């Protein structure tokens, strides 16, 4: 697709990472007037469907600026399939826990998971003796987590009292869903104790499968409005008061039926096929197209 230079004085857009106004449109998206709450389900599988997509010529960050009220869409979002796959997502949470606690100091006690979904990561930390809590905008997912006895606030990051400081804050597959990543990073910094840690997990645009699949990549979805590379994600954090500690490629666990059904999306004529041949078969995947990065409050 021909890349078009945008007049940003008129359109009032700039890069969310480096603030450059040197932005190009790289993909046409769907009309925002057609957006529904169901479009923002975690398990939505219309890969390659996005809003209008722009790329920063300076730092290569890709983003989807729009007038959508993203918070409202998430507040009313329900996703039963996400809840049904809770056991597989708990395995992923356990693996992320094992990797992140390697960098904890002995006095670390209080943890917060932002965008905690149905609470798998909160539950994992609680079971390991931490004072664990979470915050989740989706009323349905937050209520499910609360029903399990987890300490979860139904709301936004702003609803966390500033007096509540944490040793460790995680954002697992969250930063790609917000249109104010720098603001979110600063809010996280304000909620961390001195020398506290943050872990961000997000898809990465500098990965093999993104380059192979182009705009058909499975992480190009309506709910994702920001797309990071390793380099510009580190830049975002370092520019807002954090110091790089470590990064790794996280693994994911999915039911085999779930994986095969989604792979069929790439086979012409079979996009609507749902596979249900394999029961209780969980698969571990690490395709190298996501990054988990741990940063220290500087």
Give the model's pLDDT for residue 279: 66
Tokens of 152: 């979860």
Share of the chain above pLDDT 70, in %: 91
**Distance (Å) of CA 268 to CA 107, 264, 272:** 54, 8, 10
Task: Tell me what pLDDT residue 237 has.
Answer: 98
Q: Report the alpha-carbon distance of residue 200 to residue 242 in Å, rounded.
A: 12
- Residue 269 banded pLDDT, cuts 50, 70, 90: low
Nearest to 42 by CA among 233, 174, 185: 174
pLDDT tier at 256, thresholds 50, 70, 90: confident
Q: Does residue 9 surpass a pLDDT of 60? A: no
Q: Give the count of beta carbons closer than 10 Å to the beta carbon of residue 53.
A: 20
Q: What is the mean pLDDT of residues 166-188?
A: 97
Average pLDDT, the chain: 90
For 223, the domain range is 4-297
Looking at the structure of the chain, the number of domains it has is 1
Residue 72 to residue 17: CA distance in whole angstroms: 24
Q: How does pLDDT run across 234-255, given as a tens digit for each residue?
A: 999 999 999 999 999 999 887 7
The predicted pLDDT at position 298 comes to 86
Please answer whether residues 188 and 169 qualify as being in contact, where contact means their C-beta atoms are separated by less than 8 angstroms.
Answer: yes
Is residue 278 packed enough to be buried (19+ CB in 10 Å), middle (13-18) or exposed (0-12)? middle
pTM value is 0.90
CATH of the domain at 262: 3.40.50.150
Identify the pLDDT of residue 46.
87
Band the pLDDT of 43: cuts 50, 70, 90. confident
């Amino acid at each position: 697709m021909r890349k078009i230079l945008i007049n940003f004085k008129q359109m009032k857009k700039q890069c969310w990472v480096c603030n450059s106004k040197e932005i190009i449109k790289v993909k046409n998206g769907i009309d925002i007037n057609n957006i529904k709450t169901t479009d923002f389900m975690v398990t939505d599988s219309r890969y390659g469907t996005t809003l209008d997509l722009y790329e920063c010529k300076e730092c290569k960050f890709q983003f989807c600026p729009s007038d959508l009220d993203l918070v409202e869409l998430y507040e009313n979002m329900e996703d039963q399939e996400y809840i049904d796959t809770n056991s597989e997502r708990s395995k992923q949470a356990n693996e992320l826990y094992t990797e992140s606690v390697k960098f904890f100091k002995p006095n670390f006690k209080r943890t917060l998971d932002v965008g905690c979904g149905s609470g798998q990561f909160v539950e994992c930390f609680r079971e390991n003796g931490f004072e664990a809590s979470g915050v989740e905008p989706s009323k349905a997912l937050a209520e499910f987590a609360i029903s399990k006895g987890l300490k979860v606030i139904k709301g936004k990051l702003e609803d966390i009292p500033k007096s509540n400081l944490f040793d460790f804050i995680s954002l697992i597959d969250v930063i790609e869903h917000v249109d104010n990543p720098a603001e979110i990073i600063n809010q996280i910094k304000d909620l961390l104790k001195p020398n506290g840690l943050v872990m961000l997990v997000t898809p990465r645009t500098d990965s093999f499968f993104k380059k192979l699949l182009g705009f058909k990549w499975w992480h190009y979805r309506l709910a994702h409005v920001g797309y990071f590379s390793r380099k510009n994600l580190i830049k975002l954090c370092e520019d807002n008061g954090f110091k790089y500690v470590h990064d790794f490629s996280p693994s994911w666990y999915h039911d085999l039926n779930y994986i095969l059904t989604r792979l069929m999306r790439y086979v012409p004529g079979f996009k609507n096929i749902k596979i249900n041949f394999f029961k209780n078969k969980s698969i571990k995947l690490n395709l190298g197209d996501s990054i988990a990065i741990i940063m220290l409050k500087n």
